[in-house]
Structure 1
Amino acid sequence: MSRAMRALALAVLAASLAGPALATERVYFSWNTEPRLPACDEGSVRSAVAGTFARADADYYGGRMIVTLDRVAEVSPRPGGVSPLARRYCEGRATLTDGSVRRVYYKLVEHAGFVGLSWNVEACLAGLDKWYVHDARCRTVRP
Structure 2
Amino acid sequence: MGFSTVCAAVLATGASLGPAAARPLVPAERRYIPYDDVLPACDDPAVFERIQGRFHDREAEFWNTGLDILGFGKVAEIGYKTNGLDYIPRRYCTARAYLNDEKSHQVSYSINEDLGIIGFGFGVEWCVDGLDRNDAYAPNCKMARP
TM-score, with structure 1 as normaliser: 0.74
Residues 84-119 of structure 1: CA deviation (Å, up to 9, x unaligned): 310010000011011111111111111111111111
Aligned to 1:38: 40
Aligned to 2:65: 62
Q: 1:93 aligns with which of 89, 93, 96?
A: 96
Task: Give the C-alpha shift of residue 61 in structure 1.
Answer: 7.0
Q: 1:27 aligns with which of 19, 28, 31?
A: 31
**SS in structure 2 opposite 1:104?**
strand
- The answer to whether 1:81 aligns with 2:114 is no
Q: 2:142 aligns with which of 120, 139, 143?
A: 139
Task: Give the C-alpha shift of residue 60 in structure 1.
Answer: 2.6
Aligned to 2:21: none
Q: 2:54 aligns with which of 49, 52, 55?
A: 52
Q: Matched residues in 1 for 2:108 and 2:119: separation?
A: 22
Q: Would the alpha carbon gap of residues 62 and 114 (structure 1) be closer, same or farther in structure 2, given more than 3 Å must change?
A: same
**SS in structure 2 opposite 1:56?**
helix
The answer to whether the 8 Å contact 2:59/2:67 transfers is no
Q: Runs of 4 or more off by more than 6 Å in structure 1?
A: none
Unpaired runs of 5+ in structure 1?
1-20
Unpaired runs of 5+ in structure 2?
1-23
TM-score, with structure 2 as normaliser: 0.72
**SS in structure 2 opposite 1:39?**
coil
Q: Matched residues in 2 for 1:114 and 1:44: separation?
A: 14
Task: Percent identity, please.
Answer: 33
